[in-house]
A and B are shown apart, each in its own frame.
Chain A
Amino acid sequence: MKKLIIALVGQPNVGKSHLANALSGSNLKIGNFAGVTIEKALAVFTKESYSIEMIDLPGLYSLDDFSADEKVTKDFLMNESYDLILNVVDSTNLERNLSLSTQLMELNKKMVIALNMDDEAQKEGIEIDAEYMSQLLGIPCVKVSSKTKANIDILTKTILHISDSEIHASKLFFSDPIEIELQKITTFLDEKHFHHKIYSNRSIAIGLLLQRKHIYALMHEFPLFI
């Protein structure tokens, strides 16, 4: 049986734990307010030929280390091994939620986006074109509701399908001035024949430009002369 580790990531109070319960039949504690999950929780279940370990992480607004529980999640995402990120987003607050998704896309991991609370969104008159969104992001997006259990099966199938297929390069693009600078840094790294086993040169360039501490620390170890 193949083992699959899934990290559930999303902003606070979007229904990560509720979705974990709906997917796995587990009984994690949930509540309608931010900050219920304060440490990693684990749900284990089997589906088809997979033994799936789902890690429910505390919610966070961004990967910027704002508070201790946000750091738990960030440290996990940066340092631990897992196969796939299941990014849970609140369909009624999509714009705010997607700012975290773009940061997750920088991590170069397999990713699936669960557009949760679709029942609420429909009630509010919000209709999301999940198929178009998947094309735009290059990440499968599935509309689900952990409350009504709608599309939970489709989400599980999507996760298994993605874990079987090759990882795609992220479709994260910035505005032109930033893209030009990224291109310069990437070209410089390419010219120096720099290769890192985890990060692509492009993601290192992004990390340097956005002043990500871990990328600075990483690059500090390699002598690159101009």
Chain B
Amino acid sequence: MNLSQTPKHIKVVIKTISAQSFLKKRLLSLGLSVGKEIEVTEMSLQKNTIKIALGFSAIALRMEEAQMIEVEVVA
């Protein structure tokens, strides 16, 4: 499952990030890396932007970026 398919308010763990190096670095510096626990908290009406919670911060992502992030539900 990738992050764009993740329902709201379900805790997931990042498995892989399949972005090009520039975007990958950017996501990393925002705190998104493999093994991090995140949760989708909001989704825009047209479903092209999502808001995710990571620790004490919130990050907004485009749907295309969310599709690059492969996640797994926390058991």
Contact = CB atoms under 8 A, between A and B. Distances in A.
B7 interface: no
Interface stretch (B22-30, B42-50, B65-73): B22-30
A66 B31 CA distance: 15
Question: Interface extent on A, as a size class?
Answer: 10 to 19
B1 to A, nearest CB: 24
Interface string B17-59: 0000010011011110000000000000000000000011100
Nearest to B56: A92
Interface of A is mostly: helix
A62 interface: yes
A147 interface: no
Contact of A99 (B22, B29, B55, B57): B29
Contacts of B26: 61-62, 64, 66
Contact of A93 (B25, B28, B29, B31): B31
B25 A64 contact: yes
B57 A93 contact: yes
- Which of B31, B56, B57 has the largest count of A CB atoms less than 10 A from its CB? B56
A100 interface: yes
A96 interface: yes
Interface of A: 61-62, 64, 66, 92-93, 95-96, 99-100, 124
Interface of B: 22, 25-26, 28-31, 55-57
